A and B are shown apart, each in its own frame.
Chain A
Amino acid sequence: MKIFVPCDMAALSVGADAVARAIGDQLGSRRIEATIVRNGSRGLFWLEPLIEVETAQGRVAYGPVSAEAVPGLFDAGFLEGRPHTLCLGLTEEIPYLKRQERLTFARCGIIDPLSLSDYVGRDGYKGLQRALTMTPEQIVEEVTNSGLRGRGGAGFPTGIKWKTVLNAPADQKYIVCNADEGDSGTFADRMIMEGDPFVLIEGMTIAGFAVGATSGYVYLRSEYPHAFKTFKRAIQIAYEKGYLGGNVAGSGKRFDLEVRLGAGAYICGEETSLLESLEGKRGQIRPKPPLPAIEGLFGKPTVVNNVISLATVPIVMDKGAAYYRDFGMGRSRGTLTIQLAGNIKYGGLVEKAFGLTLREAIFDFGGGTASCRPFRAVQVGGPLGAYFPESLLDTPLDYEAFAAQRGLVGHGGIVVFDETVDLAKQARFAMEFCAIESCGKCTPCRVGSTRGVEVLDRIIQNQDRSKNLEILDDLCELLLDGSLCALGGLTPYPVLSAVKHFPEDFGRPAAKLPPARLAHQNNDPQLVSIGTR
């Protein structure tokens, strides 16, 4: 008999360890033989700690479970999946989960993250097996055809990046995984690394074989100590079982992997800054070109991909490019791992084909605000993403549709705010955050962000408001045009969107917005032609 109690950091943060101990105590005192499996999270965080038991009908879920509720669960017969006020029925039938399309997260929350046999038993390493029958060119072709784009935020086609590295001649190449998941409202990378670490190892190994790289690094943010511990152990296990090292899965090919910790700098999520940091330097931006694909880590051709991009490669290789490409809309193919966060009733992970609207994500899945006050604003894509009002909620989650509204899908984080939010304060925070995290390379970002805070302070205090709003506009234009990377270049997004969509918070009359008329299909010529800057 198996009882599943998540060891995901979010589950731990609401007492999962205490629940596991209480279950252990009850098993002991009632003399019941059962195994407690510490799985990852299913991503239904409002129900954490969500525990499951294996029954003949399937896994039955209970949640949110406190340690105090555990004896009562035993009394009610939860080990046989019997009813209890906390019983949620069959896990797979919970609508929030059932309505998802879990490809990258197919195993997360189901298996023991550190059990290689669990992993292999659920299609693990099938992608690598297929890749081993193919030439590097064929692997790159397959990934290109799948339409997979960088899930870190920029949305660059993964296959094209790989092709550049494949064609770059060098004695050494590298695969670098960007696990510096710094955007507020995001936790997908963390969940995968804690809940299904082997899928990332497999994805990186395939990437290595595809481009001819024998060495890989995962750059993980230091704010994720639990992910670090799990992933480090997973690497060890993969070495022990012959899935890393000089003879990967008996192929005679080498792939080595190491995980390195960042040190609390948001900028290190930018790929060139990350490479500097990996080399042991200040995480300062490098100008591009040269692209990292040509001159990356230690000056060698390097693939830098986000965790979710790399963790998606195994299923692409296993099921084929066409299978993956059939999900999604327009030029956004496959699934997006949406993370519902902030002031939201049902916060968690929703993996769904591109094209779901913001409204569907926030209300159909998320259930509206946690505070039950009216919705007012949403920030999508992290601290550099735009603030959208209610009138833009019919925007589909799609790279191009968001770009057309001067927003970004980014890494898929959605942070909801209720009516108590003050957008002038949020705009000020965006500038403050840029000032705190700027690497200092570009003057508009380094100095401009501090000036931005000052200008916003004057606007908030109603000093020469019109004049200062003009200065803010000017400053944002300078940041947009005069920064090498996305930190300085995109900080204007949250600032300007706040001013545009919520003028009343800046002492301006409320905007009389025309009724939202947004294309649902990306082939709408109007949407495509606007494009990004």
Chain B
Amino acid sequence: MNAWDNERAVTLIQGLQDLPGALLPVLHAIQEEFGYIDKAAVPLIASALNISKADVHGTISFYHDFRHEPPGRHVLKMCRAEACQSMGCDQLIDHVEGRLKARLGETTADGSFTLDAVYCLGNCALSPALMLDGKPYGRVSTQVADFLIDDAQRRRA
């Protein structure tokens, strides 16, 4: 993930601004590049798309995906929808939250993990499911979760 860079952001916006309904593609592109959407992006996008800053801000804050600050080095998305509940995702989430000392929606103090709640990854026949740095995992036990976290931490070290 790259650090925030106004010039790079402008280039990204210019590449997409002529699409019909360009705002979501623009926001996705910025988040993909920087890991989050910096406040500085709001006026840039507003002027490029000829909409108000309030419209841009309102759209960013509406969607669960868009981050207002950089995420941790690893992003762990844990499903807490009904199919996963039926297979004990609440206990799995408690375990991971306890181990990483962060709640869903938070980043660990050392910046290694961001925990996100998701409502369905479409892997409901293999619940409980999670996604670590974009890779899917099914039938996740607490042991498997521990292994995945250990492994991610090792890769970083």
Contacts and interface: CB of A to CB of B under 8 A. Distances in A.
Bound pair: A and B? yes
Interface of A: 9-10, 12-14, 45-46, 48, 181-187, 189-190, 222-226, 260-266, 277-284, 298, 339-344, 347-348, 370, 379, 383, 413, 415-418, 421, 426, 429, 433, 436-437, 439
Contacts of B111: none
B84 interface: yes
A260 B27 CA distance: 12
B125 A265 contact: no
A344 B153 CA distance: 33
Given A13-B136, A185-B82, A190 B122 contact: yes
Interface in B109-142: 118-127, 129, 131, 134-139
B63 A48 contact: no
Nearest to A343: B86
Given A10-B122, A181-B122, 5 more contacts: A12-B135, A184-B84, A263-B66, A347-B124, A415-B83
Given A184-B124, A265-B63, A13 B129 contact: yes
Contacts, number: 155
13 contacts: A9-B136, A13-B137, A14-B138, A184-B119, A263-B64, A339-B125, A342-B87, A343-B87, A415-B82, A416-B86, A426-B85, A437-B119, A439-B62
Nearest to B22: A280
A413 B124 contact: yes
Interface residues of B, number: 43
Contact of B124 (A279, A298, A342): A342
Contacts of B22: 280
**Residue in B28, B87, B120 whose Cβ sees the most chain A Cβ within 10 Å:** B120
B82 A280 contact: no
A186 B124 contact: yes
A418 B134 CA distance: 31
A282 B138 CA distance: 32
B59 A282 contact: yes
A184 B81 contact: yes
Nearest to B117: A436
Contact of A186 (B58, B86, B122): B122
Interface in B44-73: 49, 55, 58-59, 62-66
Contact of B65 (A184, A222, A282, A339): A222
B15 interface: no
Contact of B83 (A46, A341, A429, A437): A341
Contacts of B96: none
Contact of A418 (B64, B86, B124, B131): B86
